[in-house]
């Protein structure tokens, strides 16, 4: 029983140490405080799991020589990291970390630098850190040991349940939001085809108008006001010819050159153009039927995850993820904005100014 209690305590301890290490490294790289990790609390389970596996497999007295221990621990820890990355992607449909931009990586899940870091940390752990920790924790009375394990394990499991529930809910909302984005894109494409046909008809009408005006000028020589009429018509013709010449009738790029003719229609075009500034509300048209406190917890967890994993990827739901990321940033900064219900058919309620989200 004492051995099991020690394993639990070591797992929690090294999870906290891993959180400190990971948060420190990421904060230095980002030049701002980063609460790194999947969970809200100060622990990263993959470090606790890795440390416990290293201890169970390779902790010996006397210790294994440094170089073979470095290789064995690096391989074991990278294997654990690869499996964790794959499992999290399958469970939550998102890539939480990606080493694709680094040299000597395997599918972006593990890399050579991580291998070296894990190997060095494991050697330090097994040669110096864990012997001292094992000696200290071995003197803890069994009752106090289990009490401490129970308290911290309860906090850890509660944090895990809250985070997993939040991420699952976020994944469902991303599916819904991506579906609505695709619907908006299809509607915009249909509108664009209609507007293009209208513009093509308008260009044909302008060409016919030019022909009629030129013919009228040629046939109006008997008119006493021919000179002023000619100047007036030639000015209009010149303007029309210039616009037609800029539009390039042979190519569809002429549509872009006639912006002034369809500016009022273009405002109604593709709603995708407003997504980066006015993202769709990812929790749907109706307010969520959950307690207000739980809404704050979810928003806080979502915002923290977006900051903790700035390179988070969601595959086919990337547009929805960026929309959610932008919205949470706006909420955190206290920014208020409304969605245009008439043009989108979406909920036009303003976001609350006081979001009650705590910075990590």
pLDDT per position as a tens digit, 291-314: 778 888 888 888 888 888 888 888
Strand-pair partners of 95: 313
Q: Which of 216, 250, 271 is the last residue of a domain?
A: 271
| Per-residue pLDDT tens digits for 97-120 | 999 999 999 999 999 999 999 999
How far apart CA 209 and CA 122 sit, in angstroms, is: 82
Q: Which domain holds residue 260?
A: 185-271
- Determine, yes or no, domain membership for 172: no
- Determine, yes or no, domain membership for 209: yes
- Determine, yes or no, domain membership for 313: no
Tokens coding 328: 């949470």
Q: How many domains does the chain have?
A: 2
285: pLDDT confidence band, cut at 50, 70 and 90? Answer: very low
119/234 same-domain check: no
Residue 319: predicted pLDDT: 82
Distance of CA 358 to the CA centre of its chain: 19
94/197 same-domain check: no
- Determine, yes or no, domain membership for 75: yes
By the 10 Å C-beta count (0-12 exposed, 13-18 middle, 19+ buried), 142 is classed as exposed
How many other CB atoms are found less than 10 A from the CB of residue 235? 10
- Determine, yes or no, domain membership for 93: yes
Q: Which residues contact 167 (CB under 8 A, 6 or more apart)?
A: 92, 301, 305
Residue with tokens 């654990």: 80
DSSP 3-state assignment of 344? helix
Reply yes or no on whether the pLDDT at 57 is more than 90. yes
89/197 same-domain check: no
- Determine, yes or no, domain membership for 51: yes
Is the Cα dihedral 192, 193, 196, 202 positive or negative?
negative
318: pLDDT confidence band, cut at 50, 70 and 90? Answer: confident
Helices (H) and strands (E) in the chain, counts: 12, 2
Q: Which residues contact 334 (CB under 8 A, 6 or more apart)?
A: 353, 354, 355
How far apart CA 221 and CA 322 sit, in angstroms, is: 65
Residue with tokens 């070591």: 10
């Amino acid at each position: 029983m004492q051995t099991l209690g020690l394993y639990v305590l070591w797992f929690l301890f090294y999870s906290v140490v891993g959180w400190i290490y990971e948060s420190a490294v990421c904060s230095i790289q980002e030049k701002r405080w980063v609460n790194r990790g999947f969970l809200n609390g100060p622990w990263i389970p993959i470090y606790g799991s890795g440390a416990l596996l290293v201890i169970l497999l390779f902790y010996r007295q006397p210790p294994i020589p440094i170089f073979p221990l470095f290789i064995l621990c690096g391989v074991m820890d990278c294997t654990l990291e690869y499996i964790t990355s794959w499992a999290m992607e399958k469970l939550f449909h998102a890539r939480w970390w990606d080493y694709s931009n680094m040299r000597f990586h395997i599918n972006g899940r593990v890399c050579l630098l991580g291998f070296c870091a894990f190997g060095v940390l494991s050697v330090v752990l097994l040669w110096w850190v864990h012997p001292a920790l094992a000696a200290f924790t071995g003197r803890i009375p069994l009752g106090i040991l289990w009490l401490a394990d129970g308290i911290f394990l309860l906090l850890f499991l509660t944090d895990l349940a809250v985070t997993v529930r939040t991420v699952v809910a976020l994944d469902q909302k991303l599916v819904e939001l991506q579906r609505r984005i695709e619907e908006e894109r299809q509607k915009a494409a249909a509108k664009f085809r209609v507007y293009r046909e209208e513009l093509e008809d308008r260009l044909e009408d302008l060409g016919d108008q030019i022909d009629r005006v030129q013919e009228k000028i040629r046939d109006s020589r008997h008119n006493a006001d021919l000179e002023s009429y000619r100047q007036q018509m030639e000015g209009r013709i010149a303007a029309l010819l210039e616009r037609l010449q800029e539009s390039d009738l042979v190519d569809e790029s002429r549509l872009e050159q006639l912006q002034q003719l369809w500016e009022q229609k273009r405002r109604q075009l593709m709603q995708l153009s407003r997504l980066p500034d006015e993202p769709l509300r990812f929790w749907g048209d109706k307010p969520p039927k959950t307690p207000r406190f739980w809404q704050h917890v979810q928003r806080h967890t979502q915002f923290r995850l977006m900051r903790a994993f700035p390179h988070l990827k969601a595959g086919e739901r990337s547009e929805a993820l960026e929309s959610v990321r932008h919205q949470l940033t706006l909420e955190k900064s206290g920014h208020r904005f409304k969605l245009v219900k008439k043009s989108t058919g979406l909920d036009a309620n303003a976001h609350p100014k006081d979001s009650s989200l705590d910075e990590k």
